[in-house]
Amino acid sequence: MDVPNETMATTPSHVRVLKDIIFGSIAGMVSKVFEHPFDLTKVRLQSQVLDSSARFAGPIDCLTKTWKNEGISGLYRGLPAPIAGAMVENASLFLSYRELQNLIRRVTRQPESQKLPLHQLALAAAGSGAITSFLLTPIELVKCKMQVQMLVSPSSSSLTHSLPGPIAVFASAFRGSGFTGLWLGHTGTFIRETGGTAAWFATKEYVASLLLARRRPSSQEDFTLRPWESALSGACAGAAFNIALFPADTVKSAMQTAEELRPQLKSSRAPTQPHRYSPPSFFATFAQIYKAQGIRGLYAGCGITVARSIPSSAIIFLIFDGLSKHFG
């Protein structure tokens, strides 16, 4: 982050924590409204990888059919869950990223005013992603299940209004798989968030440092990124996040939508627990996808994901850095 270190040192810790939570939540919420139709497309493309026949030929076909069959409400199906998820995710990421930097400084006995080297920033970012993954998995489970609802039920405008909402989907998942079932696909989320967040923050910091070096700031105030610099470095970070470990996200989405799209998997329930759903493991699902479609299947939806993550991540850092500059 590009908040001047002197400002960080003079701001009470509880105030910094509150600001990280608020600024991160606002940035995440705004970016998610922008990107949701593209995220829905990504999930639907990922969820069909193990189907015998594909419902969609590609991202454009998916967007077109969704608009034609479900309208604008279809493009934003499941939005409440990712809105909540984006607020939780970004608040957790920015807060834990800063606090882990402080922890590294204490362990390595570096002054708080000193900026950490890039490899230590990447370590703090990886830890931030790991922490956030535990909060994010249940929210993403609900989101993914809602995003494929219309693929399971007959398409009709009247049916759209009768589909279960996020609370009902959450309750159904809890009844079907219990408390631990809410973390279905967590291995994929953990891998994606840990490695992806390391790439996200490290790329942002690196590109930002190049932009600052380019104009050779002469005072501490000049070290604050300009809006276009925040946006550009954030855009690069968005691409790096998704390219880093995208197959883990594909496996996660396939696992979280398997019960809806491949109900024959319910036959794997244990006889002593007929009401519990026992999905394949992360590595078993990975192997199934690779066997079915190879590397291409593991990267299903990657193109549109990277395309939407570039402006989305730019928006996140533009808002977060802007709020930190004016209210920090």
For 43-57, the pLDDT digits (tens) are: 899 888 887 778 898
Assign 8 to helix, strand or coil. Answer: helix
**C-alpha to C-alpha distance for 203 and 312, rounded to whole angstroms:** 15
Check residue 218 and give its pLDDT.
66
Tokens representing 305 are 């994901």
Architecture of domain 5-327: Alpha/alpha barrel (1.50)
Question: What are the domain boundaries of the chain?
Answer: 5-327
What pLDDT is attached to residue 162?
66
Task: Tell me what pLDDT residue 280 has.
Answer: 80
Residue 200 identity: W
pLDDT for position 278: 66
pLDDT digits (tens, 9 = 90+) for 251-266: 999 999 888 877 655 5
For 49, the token pair is 């990888």
Parts of the chain with a pLDDT under 70: 1-12, 152-162, 217-222, 263-278, 328
What is the DSSP secondary-structure string of 240-300? HHHHHSHHHHHHHHHHHHHHHH-GGGGGGS-TT-TT---PPPHHHHHHHHHHHHHHHHHTT
Please state, in angstroms and rounded to a whole number, the distance separating the CA atoms of residues 241 and 229.
Answer: 18
Cα separation of 57 and 59, whole Å?
7
Give the pLDDT of residue 165: 81
pTM (predicted TM-score): 0.83
Exposure of 3 in the CB half-sphere (CA atoms within 13 A): 25
